[in-house]
Amino acid sequence: MTTSAIAQAPRLEILLRKDLDTIPQLQKLSADQRIDMRAVSAVLPFRVNRYVVDELIDWDRIPDDPIYQLTFPQPGMLADADLAHMRDLVVRNVPKAELEAAARQIQLGMNPHPAGQMELNVPHLDDGTPLQGMQHKYRETTLFFPGSGQTCHTYCTYCFRWAQFVGIDELKFANNQATGLADYLRNHKEVNSVLFTGGDPMVMKTSVLRRYIEPLLAPDLDHVNSIRIGTKAPAYWPFRFTSDADADDLLRLFEEVRASGRHLAVMAHYSHPHELEPDAAQLAVRRMTSAGAVVRCQAPLIRHVNDSADAWRRLWRRQVLLGAVPYYMFVERDTGPKGYFEVPLARAFEIFTDAYRSVSGLARTVRGPSMSATPGKVLVDGITDVRGEKVFVLKMLQGRDPEWVNQIFFAKYDPKATWLDDLQPAFGESEFFFDTTIAKMKQEHLLPEWGTETHIKKSVTDSGFVDWE
């Protein structure tokens, strides 16, 4: 580790819904605005730390400040009727159970686990038992949700995994069995990359994170050649990498992963260039890269936060300057408060293209706008006219069926569409090429045919998938 840490770590102070009235900066809001905030935060998760409050938000610009929009509940995040109902309950100070019951009804109507995460992504043991806290949507990559990492230093208001944090156990992905992950991977030689995700794995102490990662470094798991850690900590709590008590041990763990011959990628979520302006944030990137990690940067395009080409241009340039890799611009998923944050696909493509044109080739490693939809990662690759019809040019970057990867397909141009499900096939086609297979997966509970023979429970269907029922 060639870059020294900050001498003394600041204390991590977390603020929750119960602390809203104690945040002095919020006193400039009207009483009605504070009631709105309490109403929304009863439905959608709220958690922030003092670093974000004191260092990242420009309180002279609220409510328009992008980091404020990114971290504090806004009234537009709920439908008008839902907001009015929750406001009434808050004002009347109803019992906690009544408030939670009302919130639960709203939450369950907000598509808490989009893109088939519950029904289509969860792998199974040979006897059909689901492996909780894991997802295996794409052949080469397994996602693991460590039980101790299912919170964050601060919650993003747009978070597509908001259901992890609202106290509904049946909607939560979590697994505390590090050996179970290693055993699964021994039976799935097709997997070459593991992604630790959440929540945020970086809320865990290094000693806990080590218990999950070290078993993957065993010689008989050499087919797992990359380990990824999805995290917002470099933006929301950069001291995790610079001056926390176990920051040095964390970087030693990174070095051990690299010494084992594996690639280590920190999938850092930077939503706005301001998150990379503080000295601590820049030092965090330098320390991670000096320990052998590749910092790959991703975020969704979010209305009210970063829906301008200038924001992305400055973000990508800053990332390259610090030695990080621009990786993905995502489309806000069809879940939670999507109506407040979503941007039409046509506008998203325009923003991406304008920003992309104004950076050098070093920043053009980024891909986007990309939808993590049910069939796979779908890129909006262009808008053009074909045979007199205006169309979206779409590309499958990842697919539940590996044969779909890199396929180009077309959809009718729709200036209002914000997600794949809003689009219709172009040129008079009745469906997209993947629709029949996805429908069969949903109806008959099919999972992809991957890996060893022990993964195959019954005969393979004509669609190329295996029936687990």
**318-369 pLDDT per residue, tens:** 999 999 999 999 999 888 899 999 999 999 999 999 999 999 999 999 999 9
| pLDDT of 6 higher than 80 | no
Distance in angstroms (rounded) separating the CA atoms of residues 465 and 452: 14
Q: Among 185, 315, 206, which residue's Cα sits nearest to residue 257?
A: 206
Give the per-residue pLDDT at 168. Answer: 59
Distance in angstroms (rounded) separating the CA atoms of residues 433 and 120: 19
Give the per-residue pLDDT at 458. Answer: 32
Selection from 115-119, 231-235, 456-460 with the highest mean pLDDT: 231-235
Domain ranges of the chain: 14-108
Question: Using alpha carbons only, how large is the chain's radius of gyration in Å?
Answer: 22
Which is more confident, 120 or 230? 230
The model's confidence at residue 227, banded by pLDDT at 50, 70 and 90, is: very high
Q: Is 235 helix (H, G, I), strand (E, B) or coil?
A: helix
Q: Among 329, 317, 328, which residue's Cα sits nearest to residue 361?
A: 317
| pLDDT of 306 higher than 90 | yes
Q: Model's pTM, two decimal places?
A: 0.91
| The two three-digit tokens of residue 74, written as one number | 């806004």
Give the per-residue pLDDT at 173. Answer: 55
> What confidence tens digit (pLDDT) does each residue in 159-214 have?
988 877 776 555 455 566 677 889 889 989 999 999 999 889 999 999 999 999 99
C-alpha distances out from residue 111 to 108, 378, 414, Å: 7, 20, 23
| pLDDT of 464 higher than 60 | no
Q: What average pLDDT does the structure give for the chain? A: 90
